[in-house]
Amino acid sequence: MTQLALVIDLNVCVGCHACVTNCKEWNTSGMAGPLSDFNPYGADPTGTFLNRVQTFEVGTFPNTETVHFPKSCLHCEEPPCVPVCPTGASYKRKEDGIVLVDYDKCIGCKYCSWACPYGVREIDEKQKVMKKCTLCVDRIYDMGLPEKERKPACVLACPTSARLFGDVHDPESAVSVAIRESSGYPLMPEWGTKPSNHYLPRRKTQLRIHDDELVRADNPLKKERLLPKPDKSEPSLDDVTSW
């Protein structure tokens, strides 16, 4: 059975948010939209996004690095959001494994968001329905588009080609080859959800920092010295997400 999914290379993601903005642009006017925003230019903006990028600083000063971690619906093979839905609004397509939400059936009870261990479902405060990544199902099957453009909007927008799209059940597909050759892994497999999306791990690189690079010209008060520092014996996020 075909299982479409994304493969994201954490080693080349630069956290530019091009995937986030192109996802929002395409889907706000497509079958998943509108993706409402409230008070977007105020002090407390809220909005609906189908794809977000979380950024972490890992390591211990001065040996720190920045990790950008894009996350959207993982289109699990055993999606916990589907059986908990009381109206059948959340469902998984047999033909391609994409998990979708039928807005006409959704009552906004949020059971699916509580069941999802990845926190990738968002309630649309205007329509009061649950929304999530659709893998741009309205785009990838649109025969009116050139074949090279029948990919999710996030994949097309990525300037570093950190995102791949394809059938993870086809051993010869580009996504399966990338997973096999670059040690791709699913997110939190211990939950038994069998996420279809995979991540390619960051590869550690040797850093050499000179003493004169440790002086920050924009920090005359040396405030960072007052901040608590983690115990050097504790594993960092970099140790967990890289090998």
Spatial contact of 58 and 236, defined as CB atoms under 8 Å apart: yes
Q: What percent of the chain has pLDDT over 70?
A: 88
Q: What percent of the chain has pLDDT over 90?
A: 71
Query: Binning pLDDT at 50, 70 and 90, where does residue 227 land?
Result: low
Name the pTM for this structure: 0.82
| Inter-CA distances, 55 with 10, 14, 17, 62, Å | 11, 10, 11, 18
pLDDT tens-digit readout, 155-199: 999 999 999 999 999 999 999 999 999 999 999 999 999 999 999
Judged on CB neighbours under 10 Å (0-12, 13-18, 19+), 181 is exposed
**Amino acid 123: pLDDT:** 92
92: in domain: yes
Number of domains in the chain: 1
For residue 177, give the CATH number of its domain. Answer: 3.30.70.20
Q: Which residues contact 37 (CB under 8 A, 6 or more apart)?
A: 45, 46, 47, 48
227: in domain: no
Query: Binning pLDDT at 50, 70 and 90, where does residue 215 land?
Result: low
71: in domain: yes
Q: What is the residue range of 64's domain?
A: 4-200
Q: Which residues contact 19 (CB under 8 A, 6 or more apart)?
A: 51, 53, 70, 153, 154, 155, 157, 158, 163
pLDDT tens-digit readout, 66-99: 899 999 999 999 999 999 999 999 999 999 999 9
Q: Compute the distance between CA of residue 161 and CA of residue 157 in angstroms, rounded to an integer.
A: 9
Average pLDDT, the chain: 90
**Amino acid 206: pLDDT:** 66
89: in domain: yes
214: in domain: no
